[in-house]
Amino acid sequence: MTDTNKKVALITGITGQDGAYLAEFLLEKGYIVHGIKRRTSLFNTDRIDHLYQDPHETEQRFVLHHGDLTDSTSLIRIIQQVQPDEIYNLAAQSHVAVSFEEPEYTANSDAIGALRILEAVRILGLEKKSRFYQASTSELYGLVQETPQKETTPFYPRSPYAVAKLYAYWITVNYREAYGMYACNGILFNHESPKRGETFVTRKITRALARIKLGLQERLYLGNMDAKRDWGHARDYVEMQWLMLQQEQPDDFVIATGVQYSVREFVDIAAAELGMQIRWEGEGIAEKGYDISNGKCIVTVDPRYFRPTEVETLLGDPSKAKAKLGWTPRISFAELVKEMVQEDLRIAERDELAKRHGFGAFDYHE
């Protein structure tokens, strides 16, 4: 049973970083939240387990459905059943480096996946009911044509991921113009949190440094340390996703902080949070970072993490979102790094305790 006066949201990618924060945010706003998760051989709901509701309870406010962005039939069935007021398309193969290894799958899920949802809405005659949010990305700017990047900056995608997201961006605009759908692109710059996947560079750094600090890991291997990103906090960014769907007219917005740091600077700031200081020596692939307290080499470059085509620098201009959505990030970069480091330290302490009691602690480098 569900309350018919409550707004109904459908989130694809609900098991991911943003999906988890957005689900929490919408539940607090009183929404009924439906999420699409894909079938996996192990549980993949860690990030949303705290929101789980027993399906036997009478009033259902949080419901998960099995589905996949590569399977139209599942999307049509779920959208028909849920009749959502708002659809947030967050699902994607979201790792840029992996997209070079799985370009076809990335196109299928990230590009055609968006089309499948838009078509499902049209087939079901929900164009005027269901508002649509597309998780677009600063990766669209790729080889940057203008700095800082804003909504009118030309795109130049540099990876199969970004090319797939370019299609999704334009099909969203096209369905808005062709069928009068309320469909928006949020061009979000990098946003991180303690829920960030462990293979994205920020989380990889905070996790590895916390483990090095506790003696669980020897070294952090990184790729391009000169890359610069405009990093914000995911909790702030999901609120903007919601706000984009609450306007009178649908539109596309850049969400960014307007400040950038290099990967190396991120390492320095995260290390400082752990009371560590790094001395850098060498250049390019010979660059090394030493813990000055004991002289140990704890950071080296591994060309395995270089990308065939790299996005060297991204810096967003969020003026439009500031003016029209009242966007101001609440969580600073320093607070973001601190929260991530503290959470990874807590996890490392748990692993260290387990190791001391004879339970294996693994060490992998991804």
Choice among 21, 133, 141, 161 that is catalytic: 161
- Least separation, in Å, of the C-beta of 36 and ligand NDP? 6
Q: Known catalytic residue: 137? A: yes
Q: Which has the closest alpha carbon to 256: 192, 200, 182, 196?
A: 192
Interface pattern 63-102 for ligand GDR (x via CB under 6 A): -------------------------------x-xx-----
How far apart CA 153 and CA 259 sit, in angstroms, is: 17
Using CB under 6 A as the binding rule, whether residue 200 contacts ligand GDR is answered as: yes
Instruction: Return the bridge partners of 232, or none.
Output: 191
Task: Map residue 10 onto helix, strand or coil.
Answer: strand
Stretch that binds ligand GDR, among 4-12, 33-41, 224-232, 276-284 (CB under 6 A): 224-232
How far from each other are the two terminal CA atoms of the chain, in whole angstroms? 44
Which residue has 């399906």 as its token pair? 55
CB closer to ligand GDR out of 244 and 263: 263
Q: How far is the CB of 2 from ligand GDR (least distance, A)?
A: 32
307 lies in the site for ligand GDR, by CB under 6 A = yes
Could you tell me which of 297, 273, 17 has the C-alpha nearest to residue 135? 17
- Of the candidate spans 51-59, 221-229, 271-279, 342-350, the one that interacts with ligand GDR by CB under 6 A turns out to be 221-229
Binding of ligand GDR at residue 47 (CB under 6 A)?
A: no
Shortest spacing between CB 326 and ligand GDR, in angstroms: 23
**Site membership for ligand GDR, residue 223 (CB under 6 A):** yes
Partner whose binding site includes residue 69, from ligand GDR, ligand NDP, none (CB under 5 to 8 Å by kind): ligand NDP
* Under rule CB under 6 A, residue 190 binds ligand GDR: yes
172: tokens are 């969203």
Token pair listed for 197: 């996947």
146 has catalytic annotation:
no
Question: How many CB atoms within 10 Å of residue 129?
Answer: 15
CA dist., res. 290 & res. 271, Å (int):
11
| Residue 87 C-beta: closest distance to ligand NDP, Å | 13
# chain residues binding ligand GDR, by CB under 6 A: 22
Q: Which is nearer to ligand NDP, 67 or 250 (CB)?
A: 67
By the 8 A CB rule, do 352 and 214 touch?
yes
Is the peptide bond preceding residue 148 cis, with omega within 30 degrees of 0?
yes
Residues that bind ligand NDP (CB under 6 A): 12-13, 15-19, 36, 38, 40, 44, 68-70, 90-94, 109, 135, 137, 188, 190-191, 197
How many residues are there in the chain? Answer: 366
Going 188 to 189 to 195 to 196, the CA torsion angle's sign is: positive
Active site residue 161: yes
Distance CA 22, CA 315 (A): 24
Distance of CA 315 to the CA centre of its chain: 17
Tell me whether residue 79 or residue 222 sits nearer to ligand GDR (CB atom): 222
Chain residues that interact with ligand GDR, rule: CB under 6 A:
94, 96-97, 137-139, 189-190, 199-201, 204, 222-224, 227, 229, 263, 305, 307, 310-311
